[in-house]
Amino acid sequence: GTGSSILSALQDLFWLSKSKVEKQLQIISVLQWVLTFLIMGIACTLILMYILCTDCWAIAALYLAWLVFDWNTPKKGGRRSQWVRNWAIWRYFRDYFPIRLVKTHNLLTTRNYIFGYHPHGIMGLGAFCNFSTEATGVSQKFPGIRPYLATLAGNFRIPILRDYLMSGGICPVNRDSIDYILSKNGSGNAIIIVVGGAAESLNCTPGKNSVTLKNRKGFVKLALRHGADLVPVYSFGENEVYQQVIFEEGSWGRWVQKKFQKHIGFAPCIFHGRGLFSSNTWGLLPYSKPITTVVGEPITIPKIDNPSQKEVDFYHSMYVDSLIKLFDKYKSKFGLPETEVLEVN
């Protein structure tokens, strides 16, 4: 009757309201991460400097004293927090796109690993969500494996930001840090290195599947020195979430980007996503396109204290072949045509 119709209408209204609230929470979760990526380092430094000039200067002074005492912690595996990695905000972050983690093979807890993550994209959204949070269940999919996402070492010289990054299990992408984790932290460690780095980010654009890998062999040498197995990882959709202005080789824009990359470690990109209130306007929010990260089969690597260039080249070639096979096997399952070819530069 009329009562049941009214009840049904109220239930529909409640469902719509809940759906809208969840969507807004997803947008907020992604926005806070984008702002963290872009401005948290500068903001934290300025805030600390401001506090030093106020009556609360002692708080800032105590933190700076702690910073000096704690300076080398990022190089020794950091200080991860399972509480932070399990925040509900990361589940909203995951669902915004959505982001998925696909396991193809088991990983032995008696081994250490170096994951090569491809492609970089603009911000490495898939890498962060899958390996620096528990939103996609990395600890359940790979029990006994501790993931460490490696990023620019300069981030760990910035107050407060360094502590936030470490809480997610993020470490500096430098030799000291990687050597420590792979040699003095037991087994079951997996360091995720976005191999293409800043150079690869300059070429990421929707519809393009290309990786910067041909001359990136340092991670292979590290794997050989520690006997850490190499694992290819490809994130389908990582390049789809932002539109970027691509500067051609030889242009003034590309010259500026390469200078930044060489001297600072990152390359400034001109990009846009969607607006905060509408997907039809430009803004900093990424487009809500699915990102599926596939973790491939590990390549067993022997321990060689001083690997020769020939040995590095051999295992690098094995890695490239394995990555291409992984891409070809899963490309049609995640929206790409069978004719799509992974471009290796």
Say how many CA atoms lie within 13 Å of 230 toward its Cβ. Answer: 29
- In the chain the first and final C-alpha atoms are separated, in Å, by 68
Which residues does 47 contact at the CB level (< 8 Å), separation at least 6?
Answer: none
User: Residues 6 or more apart from 50 whose CB is under 8 A from it?
Assistant: none
What pLDDT, on a 0 to 100 scale, did the predictor assign at position 177? 95
* Predicted pLDDT of residue 12: 54
Q: What is the 3-state secondary structure (H, E, C) of the chain?
A: CHHHHHHHHHHHHHHHHHHHHHHHHHHHHHHHHHHHHHHHHHHHHHHHHHHHCCCCHHHHHHHHHHHHHCCCHHHHCCCCCHHHHCCHHHHHHHHHCCEEEEECCCCCCCCCEEEEEECCCCCCHHHHHHHCCCCCCHHHHCCCCEEEEEECHHHHHCCCHHHHHHHCCEEECCHHHHHHHHHHCCCCEEEEEECCHHHHHCCCCCCCCEECCCCCCHHHHHHHHHCCEEEEEEEECHHHCCEECCCCCCCHHHHHHHHHHHHCCCCCCCEEEECCCCCCCEECECCCCCEEEEECCCECCCCCCCCCHHHHHHHHHHHHHHHHHHHHHHCHHHCCCCCCCCEEC
- Give the pair of three-digit tokens for residue 48: 């600390």
pLDDT of residue 11: 54
By the 8 A CB rule, do 105 and 297 touch?
yes
Give residue 279's pLDDT.
81
Question: 189 - beta bridge partners?
Answer: 146
Domain residue spans in the chain? 2-344
- Note the pLDDT of residue 95: 97
Rounded Cα distance between 194 and 119, Å, is 7
Q: How far apart are CA 118 and CA 345, in angstroms?
A: 12
HEC sequence for 50-82: HHHCCCCHHHHHHHHHHHHHCCCHHHHCCCCCH
Going from the C-alpha of 44 to that of each of 210, 235, 338, the distances in angstroms are 35, 31, 47
Residue type for 178, please? Answer: I
Q: What is the pLDDT of residue 74?
A: 95
Give the position of tokens 């603009």: 122
Per-10-residue mean pLDDT of the chain, 345 residues long, equals 53 63 92 90 92 93 94 94 97 97 97 97 95 98 97 92 96 94 93 91 89 96 97 97 83 78 72 86 93 98 96 98 98 94 95
**Phi-psi domain of 197 (left: phi exceeds 0; alpha: psi -120 through 50; beta: other):** left
